[in-house]
Structure 1
């Protein structure tokens, strides 16, 4: 069957109709076959579906799949531009893990929440404040196992989080003079980097609640490791000034691929403009194509 659009004549008017979508042959798995309709629709929207050749072979289908940023087994991988109330510092207002997404409270985040609920249908999107503040991304740290919030978090906020988050996520408060936890701790589901001056008791709470191995370290000679690194279970993006030797040492320590880069058109504070889990990343609207290439490579995501 030809891939060219079909033209039907009606009097003096010619109406162009879409060709029939046909699930053809040679699929690599049942998941790939089941995903045909989504790929066809997604490809048409992004002008990959109608090529000069109209090729509908299995190989062409898999090529379109790669271009569209799909992986299989019911997951996506993609990096997306977004903003919160016209603010590109999305890392200040979001906390994204493999189990939940926290979004700052307020009307400015309503539109983002609607989009995020479509992007992340399998995890809860929870609007909240912490200690009455909206910059929740800089105030808390979490992964699929737990969430640690500052000791100043109100009882109402704690009850709301415990009610909305999955039962498998332990919510715990931490009292430390370094109270901006998102700036001084960065983690994935297995390891965490913390500020060298974090209290020993706080370090133990991090290890116990998040179920991670904890390391005290600097990034580019800066102790605010949570500000200068974003990581998931596949890799991480760190401060652009991190040396090659430091990247190699950190990669070996964490058993992750780390790449130096920036966000939002040159901002070295990568966590201010980027959040990610294993399937998706959100970056500020000013993030350039070159920066997105670094994000994709570091976190092993597909650009969308």
Structure 2
């Protein structure tokens, strides 16, 4: 089984390549932006046709949500054009494509959990570009799984957990948005979920292709997430004092891109079809919070 991972240096990509390296029966092709420009039609076709992977996991993405409001062309090139080129090449060689997407494809104004069947209505350029990428994958590759996730964090890259721990060293008090809700999701758990699907494909099990939601539980606000991070960090002696936290409404923390107020994803479908349970982010942080101190 030969697997191509694009975006191998991102949060999910790093976790994927680490886990795949432990699989003796799998040949891993790890590609970063220097190895493969996914926006280059001829480069994508040549690379995939030369390597002929059985499964492609597209973890490459433009994720600078606010900068995307100004860098529209670049965001669409990476998040929409790139997935389309990968999907077309995957279709040509009969490969299965696993593509990572986002909660930002939704408006965020629903009451309750977002299901895969809910109508997308992105409110930002980033969300629009990711939705365009989903649609390109659906139209271009028959054997596709689109995994929407949310609030990704890991030991690598920039993310909320690392930001909070850094701020705790220099701030006695912090104001955190308290009216946006979602499920924090550990990148390592996303990688594990993707590998469960890889195993199902490799075993030639019946696969229901399409869109799946995967994120963490319990659902919380950013304020509640920060509160939990600091409680764990103090308990594990990573920080000496917990900053005083104040919840604020979104309008008091304006950003160029509009964030969904509700990013809570229903993960029942992926559990039903693949036996994949939601990520337990509290357990992850309790186990490895020291890995975020850098």
Name the structure where strand makes up a greater proportion of residues. 1
Q: Larger RCO: Structure 1 or Structure 2 (Cα < 8 Å, ≥ 6 residues apart)?
A: 2
Largest Rg, 1 or 2? 1
Task: Please give the TM-score of this superposition, normalised by the length of structure 2.
Answer: 0.28
- With structure 1 as the length reference, what TM-score do the two structures score? 0.28
